[in-house]
Amino acid sequence: MPVIESSEGEWMSDTTDIIEALENRHPEPTIKLASPRQKIVAMLLEAWFDDSWITAAMYTRWQYPESYTLFKHEGAQDLFPYLPNFIRHTIIEHTIMAKLRSYLPGMGICSKQNQAIDHWLRNQLEQLERHFSEHDYLIGGRPSIADYGLLGPIYGHLNRDPWPKHELLDYCPNIQAWATRTHDGTTAAPPLISDDGIANTLLPLLSTIAMEFVPMFRQIVQAAENIVQEKNLQSGDYLPRTFKGVSFPMGTALFQRDVFSYTLWMMQRIKVAYYALEKTEQRSVDDLFTQLNLDSFIQESFGPRVVRAGLGVQLA
């Protein structure tokens, strides 16, 4: 959960909210997309990266000691710079690192599912490598919110932690080049794909969303609706941060982990953006969803309306 303090002394948290606030204050250069399909696709990719890729990022960091050794060293140095190494390493090992590792079972990271995570991750990286061999960014010639959704797991985990870097990312030079230019930023604004187009190389990733993320999201919606009804929750009440033990497809496997009510907020933002479009623009988006075998998905219930509240959500 990133947190920043503005020059005016205002504290902001959550990548999505931070970026939107900074976009409003500094509109040029922009990462906002005006074209309807590209806008909706970028938001959908961001929601997927934000949710599903955390499993892969945590798997590569905490299942391979060489990766979390780096985390221990850097974290201890940043948090306890004046203590001797052996003391600060002991402190961080038994506090922050222990806490983070305790989340692994809830994220589905366990011996019987690790192979599925590994296979899934390698397949997704293969698709991304192919896409970035033809396009500088996910939606074409300049970055969008989707790129920054992906940057966290790629730059912050896979391309910095030793094990995934030498085992995975060193074989993906186009992904590494994308991560560098996205992280470094650019003042140039090359054109996006013309005519509100979506690159063919992006379609396999969107198909993964349709086959895996959407079924998972539907279960989040059902769980949220059930608990609202069972507990007679009202506006202002908090939903549980997670719903336990949800099963959904992951590649060729059936995967199980806890899922986040926060995803409701991410997806409901997409629905709001869709209904703000003109009717002809909505039909263009509908055509893409039909291509992905998601006919009428955007018209489905996206759960009780929520607002973000820290790391979770509360009923609007």
Instruction: Say whether 255 sits in a helix, a strand or coil.
Output: strand
Handedness of CA 164, 168, 171, 173 (dihedral sign): negative
Q: Which residue has the higher pLDDT, 27 or 311?
A: 311
Q: Does residue 228 carry a pLDDT above 80?
A: yes
Residue 14 Cα to chain centre, angstroms:
12
Task: Calculate mean pLDDT across residues 271-290.
Answer: 96
More confident residue, 69 or 40: 40
Return the higher-pLDDT residue of 75 and 189. Answer: 75
In the chain the domains, ranked by start, together with CATH numbers, are 14-63+109-183+194-315 (1.20.1050.10)
Torsion angles phi and psi, residue 282, rounded to 5: -60, -40
Burial 114-134 (b: 16+ CB within 10 A, else e): eebbbebbeebbebbbbbbee
Does the pLDDT at position 9 exceed 80? no
Q: Tell me if 75 sits within 8 A of 54, measured CB to CB.
A: no
Q: For 245-253, what is the mean pLDDT?
A: 95
Residue 315 pLDDT greater than 70, yes or no: yes
DSSP state of 27: -
Band (94; pLDDT cuts 50, 70, 90): confident
- 11-13 and 306-309: which strand pairing? unpaired
DSSP H helices in 133-261: 145-153, 162-167, 173-184, 203-208, 214-231
Residue 245 in 3-state DSSP? strand
Please say if the pLDDT value at position 17 is more than 80: no
Q: What is the dihedral of CA 23, 48, 211, 253, to 10 degrees?
A: 170
For residue 169, the 8-state DSSP code is G
DSSP bridge pairs for 307: 314
Q: What is the pLDDT of residue 189?
A: 65
Render pLDDT for 96-150 as a digit per residue (tens, 0 to 9): 888 889 999 999 999 999 999 999 999 999 999 999 999 999 998 889 999 999 9
Across residues 188-202, what is the average pLDDT?
Answer: 84
pLDDT surpasses 90 at 80: no
pLDDT tier, 187 (very low <50, low <70, confident <90, very high otherwise): low
Pairwise CA distance, residues 132 & 174, whole Å: 5
- Residue 83 φ/ψ, nearest 5 degrees: -95, 155
> Is pLDDT above 80 for 272?
yes
Instruction: Answer yes or no: are the C-beta atoms of 145 and 269 closer than 8 Å.
Output: no
